[in-house]
Amino acid sequence: MSSSYSDPKSIDNISAEAAFSTVVDAWQGRRRFLQAAAALPLLSLPVGCATSVTRPDDGVVGFTPISMSKDDVVRVPAGYRATPLFRWGDAIGSAQGMPAFRSDAGNTADEQLLQAGMHHDGVEFFPLPHGSNSSTRGLLAINHEYTDDGLLHSDGMNRWSAEKVRKSQAAHGVSVIEIALRDGRWEVVRPSPYARRVSAMTPMRIAGPAAGDAAMRTAADPSGTEMLGTINNCAHGHTPWGTYLTCEENWNGYFANAGSIPPEQTRYGVNAKGAGYRWHEFDPRFDAAAHPHEPNRFGWVVEIDPYDPNFKPVKRTALGRIKHEGAAPALTKDDHVVFYMGDDQQFEYIYKWVSRDAWNRKDRAANRDLLDHGTLYVAKFNADGSGAWLELTQGVNGLTAANGFNTQADVLIKTRQAADTAGATKMDRPEWTAVNPRDNAVYCTLTNNSARGAAGQPGVDAANPRVNNTFGHIIRWKEDGDDFAARAFRWNIFVLAGDPLLPDAAKHGNIRGDVFGSPDGLWFDPAGRMWIQTDVSTSALYRGDYAGIGNNQMLCADMNSGRITRFLTGPKGCEITGVTETPDGRTMFVNIQHPGETSSERSDPAQPLAVSSWPDGPAGGRPRSATIVIRKDDGGVIGS
Ligand code: FEO
Ligand code: CA
Ligand code: CA
Ligand code: CA
């Protein structure tokens, strides 16, 4: 997440749900939980497209951990190698053209539409051909979360123009690229019939209960079912039938409303000026005063079929409208599809969605509209370790006409307000969710919340037990009856992140292993290793509580021992976000986002250049977000 552009620390949630004041003994709960988890049999993997491969792999962590780093390089353990594969501006390999990256950022908007977008985030490997378990050929779908316009244009944000807005819009969205392992090296296949860019200008369909609702209609689209583009594509998910889900996070920052801002826009953080993208100056649909319904068309989960380059992306409104971080999949025993989803802002909520229909394993096309029908829930964490999924359906939990919810479309377009009304628990910025394939426990990173306990803000509760929570924590739960569709769960805190060497006892973490803070990216490999990626914001990096902690990093938790150790450190000023593997676990793909980011003026290319020249080096021009490939020298399973 961008620090200055997306303003993750602003608090849009001012509803009056009472905070718990009891702090439970998280360690005691944790021991009980581990005993319970140990008694569970090994269960089937949560979802089966890219990851449902059984491996002779016990999830034990076997690498030698690395130290912290402030160097402008990617470091991995001895015996591993990390290589950039797909950098901002690299050609995707479209037959329509393969423009080379210009190191002065001189590429046009049209060229940018045929190149990697900026600021890679969520990523998923899809084997080729579809239905295979190939670990030598496949597709990568990669989110491009946002743009730093200082870097994106040769002269930064000077002489702001329609062409610059168009290039910024072109650098957003998703890349689909074909990759292949040739002679021990992964390469982008160019040209490839699968190569595709989805951008902020790509035609999309709106589907599900909110499609066509009056609040979804605009001057350009009186139907409320057709629109252009997806933005701020943060983390992601995928379906068992092999489609990609890209999740719209801080979409509010692209809008500006110089008029009187209605409460439904205020609740999502739309403000007078936006977050500095300046699209509204040349693209009037981002003027939220002139086009008050256009913001309602963002904040959704968008389905893309990477195997079909002509597929029209679909906004799936049944999954709710929030600042979506990601959508971690799970599968019930009777093949209903479940997604766990965070709304990443201070004091926002954790959601779950359960499909009405079962996944059709035999007929892929039969799943085309499966994501349009289901039930959305929001989490309430009780102080006694129990939890409830509160249903967000019109007519229940106070979601009545008297409270402003006349239809299910109202509930979904105003998901945050519906969750307020239902009485969900306000969390410390829910980021990624992930399901442990060994015991079906679900984990969520709560990256940080410096406002917890501040004057006029909610105080601590059992699930968010620290005031001024600068380091964040990871919470987890287990559904009742081991059923992902359950309405109740048991929870506890897996780890309080932080630096145990800090003198302030309230800030001590309980990490067993290496120090980290601001957990964000979270993923289980099929053997059950948990991978944690950090996003210490640029304004916090290297100072204050983070003075002793270097560049952002990726760590691995051995779930057999609970020990968390450092696997990777990124270059200066970056965030590590997004991780996926080939089915054999022998190649890992990781995204390095915004190397060289500075916390002050980001419209000026000189500032990031002074910090980082990764990955191309000092002679190469501008720092570039990139997907990297990680392999073991002996060809073994990553992490083993
Ligand atoms: Fe885009 Fe919440 O990170
Ligand atoms: Ca980010
Ligand atoms: Ca983050
Ligand atoms: Ca994130």
Q: Which atom of ligand 1 is least distant from the CA of 2?
A: 1
7 Cβ closer than 6 Å to some ligand 1 atom: no
Say which ligand is closest to the CA of 120: 2
- In contact, 430 and 444? CB cutoff 8 Å: yes
Nearest-atom index, ligand 1, CA of 1: 1
Q: Is the pLDDT of residue 214 over 90?
A: yes
Predicted TM-score (pTM) of the model is 0.92
Give the helix/strand (H/E) hosting 34. helix 26-38
The predicted-structure confidence for 108-160, as pLDDT tens digits, reads as follows: 999 999 999 999 999 999 999 999 999 999 999 999 999 999 999 999 999 99
Cβ–Cβ under 8 Å, residues 136 and 608: no
Evaluated on CA atoms 597, 110, 202, 361, the torsion sign reads negative
**Distance from the Cα of residue 99 to its chain's centroid:** 29
What confidence tens digit (pLDDT) does each residue in 349-359 have?
999 999 999 99
| Least confidently predicted of 203-207, 208-212, 372-376, 557-561 | 557-561
DSSP 378-405: EEEE-TTSEEEEEE--TTSTT-SGGGT-
pLDDT of 598: 85
Q: pLDDT for 216-230, tens place per residue?
A: 999 999 999 999 999
- Domain map of the chain by residue range? 26-46+59-76+115-214+235-249+323-632
Name residues whose C-beta falls within 8 Å of residue 39's C-beta, 6 or more positions apart in sequence: none
Is 8's pLDDT higher than 60?
Answer: no
- Alpha-carbon span 171 to 200, nearest angstrom: 8
Q: What single string gives the DSSP state of each residue in 166-185? A: HHHHHTSEEEEEEEEEETTE
Beta strand extents in 117-248 (DSSP E only): 120-127, 137-144, 173-182, 185-188, 196-198, 203-207, 226-228, 233-238, 244-248
Cα(6) to centroid(ligand 3), Å: 10
- Listed in sequence order, the residues at least 6 apart from 56 whose beta carbon sits closer than 8 Å to its beta carbon are none
**3-class state of residue 567 by DSSP:** strand
The per-residue pLDDT for range 524-577, each reduced to its tens digit, is 999 999 999 999 999 999 999 999 899 999 999 999 999 999 999 999 999 999
Report whether residue 1 contacts ligand 1, using a CB cutoff of 6 Å.
yes
Mean pLDDT computed over 622-630? 97
Backbone angles phi, psi at 341, to 5 degrees: -140, 130
How far is the C-alpha of 376 from the C-alpha of 353, rounded, in Å?
4
With a cut of 80, say whether residue 9 has pLDDT above it. no
Tell which atom from ligand 1 comes closest to the C-alpha of 431.
2
What are the CA-CA distances from residue 588 to residues 69, 127, 138, 317 (Å)? 21, 14, 13, 32
As a whole number, the mean pLDDT across the chain is 91
Q: How far is CA 521 from the centre of its chain?
A: 7
Q: Which of 243, 117, 92, 237 is nearest to 178 (CA)?
A: 92
Centre of ligand 2 to C-alpha 6, Å, is: 9
Confidence band for 56, pLDDT divided at 50, 70 and 90: low
E strand segments, 392-548: 427-428, 430-435, 442-446, 473-479, 488-496, 519-524, 530-534
Say what the pLDDT of residue 609 is.
83
Q: From the CA of 260, how far away is ligand 4's center (Å)?
A: 31
245-297: per-residue pLDDT in tens? Answer: 999 999 999 999 999 999 999 999 999 999 999 999 999 999 999 999 999 99
Q: pLDDT tens digit string along 446-494?
A: 999 999 999 999 999 999 999 999 999 999 999 999 999 999 999 999 9
Q: How far is the CA of 219 from the centre of ligand 3 (A)?
A: 35
